[in-house]
Amino acid sequence: MLICPQCKFENPNSNKFCQSCGTSLTHKVCPECSTDDVPVNALRCYNCGTECGTVFWAIIAKETTGETLGVEKDEEYREEVGVEADKGAISSSSPLSPSSQIALGSYLDSQERYQLLDPLPAKTEATIISDIGVRVLDCQPYQISPIEAILASQQSDLLTPSVEASRIPHLAKLYIALQSQGQRGIPPIQDAWQQGDVQVVIIEDRSHWQPLLDLWQEETTSSLKILHWCYQMTQLWALLEPVSCRQSLLDLSNLRLDEDQTLALQRLYVESSNSQSATEPPEDVQAQTSAIPEQPLTIQALGRVWQALFRQSQRTQFGSVVQMLGDLEVGTIQTIAQLRSRLEEISVELEALGTATLPPIKEKNTAVFTIPQSDEPEDIISKTDDMPTVVLAMQLSSLEDAGRTDVGRQRHHNEDYFGIETKIHKLELPKSRVLQGHGLYILCDGMGGHAGGEIASELAVNTLRQYFQEHWITNQLPTEDSIREAVYLANEAIYKLNQQDARSGVGRMGTTLVMLLIQDTQAAVAHVGDSRLYRLTRKRGLEQVTVDHEVGQREITRGVEASIAYARPDAYQLTQALGPRDENSINPDVGFFEINEDTLLLLASDGLSDNDLLETHWQTHLEPLLSSGANLERGVTDLIELANQHNGHDNITGILIRAKVRPNLES
């Protein structure tokens, strides 16, 4: 089946356009020049030459685990998940033996889906290649793969006897098992198959990601940032140990950074019984970058990796790190827990050198970092006890947003309404860059029936927008009194309309409100009703910032247990809303907070937040959107679709805001 890239609808393979939204399934839009008829199987745009194809990394490896499968078994496995078998695509003698090779531009499979973009390495007759990694172009990017089909249909751990019956290649099982842990450092798997003793695994292409060594050796990279990469390696080590893939951390060329400078692996290397990789990297790469020769895989190996990074980057090891590496080598530090504890201690000493994207390892209840007044970072450990400190504030580095509303699957009209108004001022000079952001985000969920709720919600949004256009002082967040005045004015506008039309009872129109105001790294939130603001950071996870104005919550604040409060038949009835009554009946909640780390904010109507939808799915639908490369428009569309699948009883509206920050080194 073909999965629509726009709405995720499942289409028959013969479709040229999505049955649900009409999106082309044979052509795509070039992200650079917006040419809209680029074939989906093209690597580059024919108009501007931009590489816009779907590229993956293919690992072709000899099976060494004793789980060898025949070609006929692979055919059965692929037929079970609705994909035609790759008959004869790779034989047991190719491409890993010197007797036959696949030429550049050829396909790895008989379906002609994965096309080679790199030549396979040439070997002499005496050499057998046990493992090859190459880039491949996905010529059928909308076609669901067998792995995707299995992941969609199975909710349990895939390393179970049921998976053995599905005959997934052994190497693929490792990626699937680690992917289920939600660790961003492991490349997600796209496809896999096996014929004879050859297994092919298709994963995300990270060959173009920045090598860790490159940034490690930059002079501007702080000591604290290096400590965080070490800490992330300990996290990956603990994740990789149960599946015998720790070798993946011991090759410097395999250590990469994503766009947020978070440590990631380009691929997995599997340990053999003698603790050496069963899928070794190419010999030339290994000779240049492998940090560890044949050594037992204990945590001492991590220490040698760090020593190799310091040595090859020509950076001087500093203070407590020297002692830690020495303790690792002699065995004083024997467990991952002890190693993490030591890294945390050093991080506390050096937390002044932290960055916004990499805060101190242990969470601090502070909105700023401190920096000792010392010329040399390496001198900090010996001087921090005596040196005074100054506050290092944060500054905005980017502010992005996207919003969407949907009628849902049961309502006939949409009473939700939202407004987004932003202003970005950027000043960039050779030695400095200043970004000033001003954002107003308003979401209203109307009530009062057709020609009522939608009028109230739109009127509230427009009243608030007009107020702040006139009263928001440049580069200064509005005060609490000013925000309250704006909310009261919105309430008055709807209330007057109710009075003029002589509406009564349930016929009186009204609306909920949640409003977010951002000025640089300062934020304010105001709300009335049950529309919500959520905040997501990597340190704290998902947090609900607002508290619903409804009977159940009111009872909880009075000391009633939650189970009793929400057993009431009127538990979800609103205790206040804009419009039905005068301003004496509302008391908007107004709060302020600082954005001191990369943050994703979400304004949501109850059609999106009902039934704990966001609390259940935030790791799959929100957390990936923290990354700079994630598309917020696509993200909010996915949220709407998720809500339609699981709720759909109400209108659905969401506004996503991604704010990224960094230390203000000039403050």
The model's pLDDT over 105-124, given as tens digits with 9 standing for 90+, comes to 888 888 889 999 987 766 54
> What span, in angstroms and rounded, lies between the C-alpha atoms of 197 and 175?
19
Amino acid identity, position 132: I
pLDDT at 296: 59
Place of tokens 């699981």: 646
Ramachandran bin of 49, using left for φ above 0, alpha for ψ from -120 to 50, beta for the remaining angles: left
Residue 132 near residue 59, CB atoms below 8 Å: yes
* Contacts for 386 with CB less than 8 Å, ≥ 6 apart: none
Instruction: State the Rg of the chain over Cα.
Output: 28
Q: Which amino acid is at 209?
A: W
d(CA 210, CA 258): 7
Cα 645 to Cα 620: distance, rounded to the nearest angstrom: 15
Q: What confidence tens digit (pLDDT) does each residue in 393-408 have?
A: 688 989 999 999 999 9
Q: Using omega within 30 degrees of 0 as the cis cutoff, is the peptide bond preceding 95 cis?
A: yes
Residue 177 has phi, psi (to 5 degrees) of: -60, -45
Strand partners, 280: none
Instruction: State the helix-helix crossing angle for 336-350 and 319-330, rounded to 10 degrees.
Output: 170
- 195 forms beta bridges with 198
Under DSSP, the state recorded for 51 is: B
What is the predicted pLDDT for the residue at 71?
Answer: 35
CB 67 within 8 A of CB 275: no
Q: What is the pLDDT of residue 651?
A: 93
Q: How many CB atoms lie within 10 A of CB 548?
A: 20
* pLDDT for residue 122: 64
DSSP strand pairing (541-544 vs 652-663): unpaired
Question: Could you count the other beta carbons within 10 Å of the beta carbon of residue 242?
Answer: 11
- Count other Cβ atoms within 10 Å, centred on residue 619: 12
pLDDT attached to residue 197? 81
- For tokens 């966001």, name the residue: 614
How distant is the alpha carbon of residue 30 from its chain centre? 23
Write out the DSSP string of 351-383: GGG-BTTB--SS--S-SSEEEES-S-GGGHHHH
Q: Which two tokens stand for residue 625?
A: 């959107």
Q: In angstroms, what CA-CA distances link 563 with 407, 555, 558, 606, 664?
A: 31, 11, 14, 20, 46
Residue with tokens 């009335």: 528
DSSP 510: E
Helix or strand run (H / E) with residue 441: strand 432-447
Report how far residue 609's alpha carbon sits from residue 55's, in angstroms, rounded to the nearest whole number. Answer: 35
| Nearest to 116, CA basis, from 100, 133, 98, 134 | 134
Mean pLDDT by 10 residues, the chain (667 residues): 83 89 89 87 92 92 52 43 42 42 78 87 55 91 82 49 57 85 83 86 93 89 84 91 92 90 91 50 41 65 92 81 89 89 82 42 36 35 36 78 93 92 84 84 86 89 96 92 96 92 76 96 95 92 93 90 89 91 91 93 94 91 88 93 88 95 67
Element (H, E) at 148: helix 146-153
Which DSSP symbol is given to 277?
Answer: B
| 3 state SS of 165 | helix
Residue 50's SS3 state is coil
How many other CB atoms sit within 10 Å of the CB of residue 224?
A: 23
Angle in degrees, 0-180, between the axes of helices 480-500 and 453-471, rounded to the nearest 10: 140
pTM higher than 0.75: no
The answer for residues whose C-beta is within 8 angstroms of residue 640's C-beta and 6 or more apart is: 404, 406, 608, 652, 654
Distance CA(467)–CA(132), nearest Å, equals 62
Is the CB of residue 530 less than 8 Å from the CB of residue 513?
A: no
Specify the pLDDT at position 359: 39
> Which pairs with CB-CB distance under 8 Å and at least 24 residues apart come from 330-333?
331/300, 333/299
Q: Can you tell me the distance from the alpha carbon of 162 to that of 165, in angstroms, rounded to the nearest whole number?
A: 5
All structural domains of the chain, each given as residue ranges with its CATH number in brackets, are: 1-53 (no CATH), 59-204 (no CATH), 210-363 (1.10.510), 395-663 (3.60.40.10)
